[in-house]
Structure 1
Amino acid sequence: MEFRIKEEEARSGCIAVGVYERRRLTEQARALDGEGAVTQAMRSGDISGKPGSTLLLRGVGGMERVLLVGLGEQGAVAESAFGTAVRAMLGVFATLGAAQATVALPLDAVAGRGQAWAIGCVVAAARDSAFRRDGLKSRKEAAPGGVRRIVLAAKPDAAAKAALAEAVATANGVELCKELANLPSNICTPAYLAEAARRLGRDWGVGVQVLERKQIEQLDMRCLLAVADGSDVPPRFIVLKHMGGKAREAPVVLAGKGITFDSGGISLKPGAGMDEMKYDMCGGAAVLGVFRAAAEMGLPLNLIGLVAACENMPSGRAVKPGDVVASMSGLTVEVQNTDAEGRMVLCDALTYAARFKPAAVIDIATLTGACVSALGHHRSGLFTRSDAAHDMLAAELLAAGRSSGDLAWLMPLDEAYQEQIKSASADLANLGTPGAGSITAACFLENFTRSYTWAHLDIAGSAWEQGGAKGASGRPVPLLLAYLQARARR
C-alpha cells in the first residue's frame, strides 16, 4: 500500500468524502455537489450519515467514483466514529476496480485530535487491512485487488509530510512485529529472531550483538539458562542499538520477553490453545518492530533493545519445581512453577540493562494470564514504582497510549505484594501466593530494577487477537514509538 499527500483534487479512480447525519455535508462533499447528486442521495435516505455508512456514486462532480462515508453528527467528529468511517471506507476500496483513491475526509476535524493523528489512523488501518497471513500456504490466495495507492487530500506542508512519514514508519514496525509473531515456533526460533535483528543491522544501520549460550553462561544469566535448558534449541540474547541522540546521552532501554514457544515446561500447560504459545515472544518481536521504525524515522534518541530468547520445554534437563537458581544479579530464585518462565528470562535481561546507565528501562512481556483476567484484550497492564521519576514515566506511557490509540492501564505495585513472593529457601519465589497474579509477577521483576527508572508492560491480553481474526496485533509498538517520539521532542 502506497501513500501520498496532495492538496489539489487528485485524479483518482475514487474520491471518498464525508457526510453527516441529518443530511449534512462536509466541506469536501459540498465541493462535489454542484449538480446536487450528493444532496439528493442524502434526501433519498440512500445513506444515513451514521458512522461507517457508505454509498458509492458514479459520475458525480466530474469524478469516476465518489464514495460517501458517514461520520455521525455534524461538528467535531468523534474519534471512534472517524475510525469506524475509515475502516468502512477501506472495505469499499478493496472491492473497487481502481488502483488509486483519494481520501478527502475532514482530517483536521476529529475531536481532540490533530491532522497528524487522522493521517496516522488512515495509514494504520490501511496497512492492517492489507496485511496477509498466508505466506506459508502452498497455494497462496490471489493478491487482493482494489485500491493500492491512497492519496490523502491535505496541504503537503512539512508537518503533514512528517506525519505521513512517521505513520508509515510506525506501520512498518507494527508489521515486522506481526510477521515475526505469527510465524510458527519451528521457524521463528531464537536463532531466527537473531537473524531478524541482523537484517535490521544490514538494512537500517541498527547496531546488533547476538550472544550465544557460552557468552550467556559467562554473564551468569542462570535464570535465562534455567528456562532454556529444557529445550534442544539454543538460546540467544540479542542486543540492539540505535544511537540517534547525543554521544553521552543516557539511553532508553527496551527489554522484550522472547519465549519462542512456551509449553509450560515441567509445569505443563493444558493442550487446548497451546498453539497460541508461539506468541509468547511478542515482547521481543515488539522490540524489533520499534527498532525498525525508530531507524526509519531517524529518531533523535539513544535506544537500546534487549531480547532474551529461548524455548520453555519439558525434558530430562528441564528446571523443576522446587529448584533454586541464582540470577545474574546474585539474587536466588525458587522455581515454584516452571510456567512462570517469562519473569525468569527477564530478570537477567533487566540486570544486564543496568550496564547502560539508562534514563529509563521498559520491559515488554506476555507475562500473565492474570492480566488478561484483569484488563481483557483492550489495554496492556502498566506497572511501576510510585515516586516522582516513576510517576512521570507512568504518565508519559499512559499519554503515549492515548495519543496512539494503543491503550494501557496503570496497575498497583505496592510493597505489600512483595510478601506474596517470599520463599523459605531462596531470596524470591517465581510464583506468588494466590491472588493478584499480574501484580506479583511485576513485583518479582521490580527486585531487579532498583538502580534505575523502570516500567513493565504486561501485554498478555493485547499482543494477539483470537477467533476468526487470530493473529498478532503488533502492540505495543505504537505506544512505545509514541512515547519515544514525545521523549525525543523534549
Structure 2
Amino acid sequence: MNFELKSLDLAACAAEKCDALIVLVSEAFAPAKDALSQLIAQARASGDLEAKPGKLLQMYRPAAAAATRVLLVGVGDGAARHVRQAVATAVAAAKGPSLRKVLISFAGADAQKSVRAAVQAVAEATYVYTTTKSKPEGRTLSQVWLCAPDAAAAQAELALGTATVAGVELAKEWGNRPGNHATPTLLGTAAKSLARFPKIRCEVLGPKEVAALGMGSFMSVAQGSKEPLRFIVLHYSGAAKTVAPTVLVGKGITFDTGGVSIKPAAEMDEMKFDMCGAASVLGVFRALGDLKPAINVVGLIPACENMPDGGAVKPGDVVTSMSGQTIENLNTDAEGRLVLCDALTYAARFKPRAVIDIATLTGACVVALGGVRSGMFSADDSLAAALQAAGESALDPCWRLPLDDEYGEGLKSNFADMANVAGRAGGAITAAKFLQKFTGKMPWAHLDIAGTAWKSGAAKGATGRPVGLLLDYVLNQPPALIESAQAAPKSIVRRKMATQAIPAKTVAKTAAKTPRKTAAK
C-alpha cells in the first residue's frame, strides 16, 4: 500500500477520480466557494453532518466530486486521536473489493499534526492476516493520497507514520501466527531477516550458548519442550559506539500451556500471543530500519515454549538464574518472568542508558487496566515520565503503577533467594517486583501488555502494541545523546508499506527442517 502526500485543496481533491474521497471536517472548517465545500456547509447547517469525532455522512457519486463515494466525517477539534478515530470509521465504511484508491482531505484539520494518525488508521482498518490461509485475500486498497494545501510541512509525519505501520504490522504478523508457524527457531529467522536493513545486525544463540552464559532460569522454562530455545540479540547502531544504547527486552514465549501448572483449555489457543513482547521488539527494529535515526538500540528476545512433558520443570523446583540468584518455581505458569530475568541480567553488559522489558505478563494487569492502557512500572521517575509522554504522543498509552518495597514481601521463599509468585493480590505489581531484583542500578521500566497486545472475540488478533510507544520513546532521547534523524526528502514522499513477512510456503518448509531436541532431564 502506497501513501503519498499531495498539495491539494478540497476543490482539487473533488476533481480527482478515486474510489473514495474521505473529507475530514473539523470544527474550524471554513467553506470556500467550490461545490463540495458548499455541500459540506449545507450538510452541517441542516444537522446531517456533525463535527463530533467519527460522525459520518456518505454520498454515492455526488455531482460535487469525481469520486465514486464521498465520505464526510467529523474530527472535532482536529486532534490526532480524533483524526485516527474518524479515518478508521470512514475506511471501515468504504472498505470493499472495489476499494483501491482513496483520497483523504484535511478540511480544516492540521495535516502536519495528524498525518501519522491517519496513516495508522488506514492501515489498521484494512489489515488482513493471510499467512496460514489456503486462499488468502489480502488488502485491495493499494493507493492512498493524503491531501493538504501545504503537504511539504507534513513530510516528516508521513515518514514516521509509514515506518510505524511497517513495524506494527510486522509485530501483528508474528503475534497472529499459530504456535507451529512461530517457533523459537522461526522467530530467530525473522530477526535475522531484519539485518538486511542498514545499521542492523542480529545474533541468535542456541541452547549450548545459553547454557554457557548460565541462564538457568530461562533454560528451565524451555526444558519441557521439544522446540529448542533461542536467545535473539539485535543491534541497531545509528550513533557512535560511545553513545549508550536503549535496551528493549521482549518476552518470547511462542506458546504457553502453563507447563505442569497447566492452563484451562478454554481460550488456550490465545497463548500464541504470549510472544507479543518479542514481536514488538521486532517491530521497533523494522521501523528503525526505515527511519535510520542517529541512536543506538539493542533488542533482546528470550524465546521458547512452555510445555508440560516428562522433563518439564515442576512446582517447587529451584533454579539458578544468570545473576546467581536462586528461584523457587511455585507456579510454572509464571514463566515469563523466568525468561526475562536472565535477559535483564544479560542487558547490563551494554551499559545501557535505559532498559525496558515488554511482556504479556499477568492477567492481573488486564483486570486492573483492561485493554486501553498498558501497565508501566519503573522506579526511575524521568524514565517513567518519558514513557508516559511517548505513549500519549503515539496514541499507544500506558499507565504507571506502584513499586513499593512492601509488595515484594510475598516473594520470600524458605528454599531459595526468592519465589516466582506472591499470590493473587497485586499480581501485576509483584511480578514487576520480581523483575526488579535483576535490574541492579540500571534505569529500568517494565511494560505489562497482557491487556493491550491482542483482542479476543470476533476481532481476535494481535494489535501490534506497544510498537508506537516504544518507537516514540527511542526517537525522543535527549538531544545531547543523538543527532537529528535523517530528513525526509523535499519532494513528495512516497513510502511503500510492507511487513516483509516470510511466505507461508517458506515457513512450512523451514518448520519441517527445524531440528528437534529431546526433552532435558
Whole-Å separation in 2 of the counterparts to 1:323 and 1:209 = 31
Secondary structure of the 1:123 match is: helix
2:85 counterpart residue number: 84
1:220 counterpart residue number: 214
1:104 aligns with 2:105: yes
Amino acid of the structure 2 residue aligned with 1:90: V
Whole-Å separation in 2 of the counterparts to 1:470 and 1:476 = 17
Whole-Å separation in 1 of the counterparts to 2:166 and 2:37 = 42
Whole-Å separation in 2 of the counterparts to 1:44 and 1:66 = 21
Whole-Å separation in 2 of the counterparts to 1:370 and 1:227 = 21
Amino acid of the structure 2 residue aligned with 1:140: P
Instruction: Return the structure number with greater relative CO, CA threshold 8 A, min gap 6.
Output: 2
1:123 pairs, out of 119, 126, 132, with 119
Amino acid of the structure 1 residue aligned with 2:391: G
Amino acid of the structure 2 residue aligned with 1:220: G
1:245 pairs, out of 239, 255, 263, with 239
Q: How does 1:410-421 map to 2 (within 5 A)?
A: 410-421=400-411
* Residues 201-233 of structure 1: CA deviation (Å, up to 9, x unaligned): 134551101100000000000000000001111
1:201 aligns with 2:202: no
Amino acid of the structure 2 residue aligned with 1:215: E
Residue 108 of structure 1 deviates from its aligned partner by: 4.2
Residue 6 of structure 1 deviates from its aligned partner by: 1.0
Residues 116 and 33 of structure 1: CA distance in aligned 2, closer, same or farther (over 3 Å) = same
2:388 counterpart residue number: 398
Whole-Å separation in 2 of the counterparts to 1:323 and 1:334 = 6
Whole-Å separation in 2 of the counterparts to 1:340 and 1:470 = 24
1:63 counterpart residue number: 66
1:297 counterpart residue number: 291
Note the aligned Cα RMSD (angstroms): 2.2
Residue 106 of structure 1 deviates from its aligned partner by: 3.8
Can you give the 5+ residue segments of structure 2 that lack an aligned partner in the other structure? 481-521
2:5 counterpart residue number: 5
2:495 counterpart residue number: none
Whole-Å separation in 2 of the counterparts to 1:35 and 1:413 = 54
Amino acid of the structure 1 residue aligned with 2:6: K
Residues 36 and 249 of structure 1: CA distance in aligned 2, closer, same or farther (over 3 Å) = closer
Whole-Å separation in 2 of the counterparts to 1:478 and 1:257 = 17
Residue 85 of structure 1 deviates from its aligned partner by: 1.8
Secondary structure of the 2:251 match is: strand
Secondary structure of the 2:408 match is: helix
1:277 aligns with 2:271: yes
TM-score (norm: length of structure 1): 0.91
Residues 270 and 424 of structure 1: CA distance in aligned 2, closer, same or farther (over 3 Å) = same
1:382 aligns with 2:369: no
Secondary structure of the 2:352 match is: coil
Residue 150 of structure 1 deviates from its aligned partner by: 1.3
1:268 pairs, out of 246, 262, 266, with 262
Residues 42 and 439 of structure 1: CA distance in aligned 2, closer, same or farther (over 3 Å) = closer
Question: Percent of counterpart pairs with the same letter?
Answer: 46
Q: How does 1:214-363 map to 2 (within 5 A)?
A: 214-363=208-357
TM-score (norm: length of structure 2): 0.86
Secondary structure of the 1:478 match is: helix
Residue 167 of structure 1 deviates from its aligned partner by: 0.6
1:135 counterpart residue number: 131
Residue 67 of structure 1 deviates from its aligned partner by: 2.1
Amino acid of the structure 1 residue aligned with 2:259: G
Residues 355 and 57 of structure 1: CA distance in aligned 2, closer, same or farther (over 3 Å) = same
CA contact (8 A) 1:407 1:479 kept: yes
Secondary structure of the 1:162 match is: helix
1:169 pairs, out of 163, 169, 174, with 163
Residues 418 and 105 of structure 1: CA distance in aligned 2, closer, same or farther (over 3 Å) = same
1:367 pairs, out of 357, 361, 367, with 361
Residues 4 and 15 of structure 1: CA distance in aligned 2, closer, same or farther (over 3 Å) = same
Amino acid of the structure 2 residue aligned with 1:87: A
Whole-Å separation in 2 of the counterparts to 1:131 and 1:35 = 31
Can you give the 5+ residue segments of structure 1 that lack an aligned partner in the other structure? 110-114
* Residues 16-74 of structure 1: CA deviation (Å, up to 9, x unaligned): 32446xxx8824x535337944444445555455433122253544534562423165x
* Residues 296-347 of structure 1: CA deviation (Å, up to 9, x unaligned): 1002110000000000011111111111111000000011111110000000
Whole-Å separation in 1 of the counterparts to 2:39 and 2:319 = 74
